[in-house]
Amino acid sequence: MLPEDISQYGYLVDRVIKLSIWGIVIVGIISFFIVFYILYKFRRTKNPFPLSDVPSGLKKVVVIDYVMIIFDLILLFVSTWAWFFFFVRPVEKIKKEVQEKGEKFVEVRVIGRQFFWAVEYPGKDGVFGTYDDFKLGNLLVVPEGYNVFVKLTSGDVLHSFFIPNVRIKYDVIPGRETHLWFKPVKVGKYEIACAELCGAMHYRMKGYLVVLKEQDYLKWLDSAPFSEISFVYLEGDKINFVRGGEMR
């Protein structure tokens, strides 16, 4: 039902989704039974005159309300935890934790534009603002098993950066800088979408997340001397670049 989860922490989001769906299904079924039971039991042919009060036996139905409140609290707790884990914690704190654990990370900047994603890489030195920075259109290449920190900004209107396979979606807001963090643990090519209607060509804001093995990633970085926006298109598993060309 959900696309394959290829991130280490995506299960936190899945947990919220599954809990919501199962909760809704179970509560929904119980509610329908109660409604149809009441419709049948108090049908007009057997009860020609309206009752002045709810029959005492039926007052127990209120218990369902308490069950619902408890379920809501559980759902609130689980979803708040996932929200906190991914978005609320300051990115510097997550970075520190990651380093303390001895894990590696990469940083990229993503700028949402009508109608493509500009991805800025810090290049081999890992530092932005140096000579080896480069930009790519619609292509986010990251190494497997690394933590990926994404700084999101918008060049024009509202967009929403969505990578279903790592369970990450966040609004890209003009005039605001937001941060995303995920850790891909499976090599492959995955879709990036814009999840906010941002104009006539919104549907064309399709990019790719390409997860490479560490050594392949380093090799790729060596062969990426791009200084201008290059667009990318994929033929099967082959990545092709078009320098300053038309986006396909």
Which residues in this chain contact Cu ion in the complex, by CB under 5 A?
A: 159, 194, 198, 205
Residues 6+ apart with CB under 8 A from 74: 19
Q: Which two tokens stand for residue 75?
A: 């759902």
Burial class of residue 169 in the structure, from the number of CB atoms within 10 Å of its CB (0-12 exposed, 13-18 middle, 19+ buried): middle
**In terms of CB distance, is 179 or 204 closer to Cu ion?**
204
CB of 88 to Cu ion, least distance (A): 24
CB of 86 to Cu ion, least distance (A): 21
**In terms of CB distance, is 168 or 194 closer to Cu ion?**
194
The span from the CA of 202 to the CA of 150, in Å, is 21
Quote the longest CA-to-CA distance of the chain. Answer: 86
| Three-state secondary structure call for residue 147 | strand
**In terms of CB distance, is 150 or 205 closer to Cu ion?**
205
Residue 112 DSSP symbol: E
CB of 191 to Cu ion, least distance (A): 14
CB of 199 to Cu ion, least distance (A): 7
**In terms of CB distance, is 28 or 155 closer to Cu ion?**
155
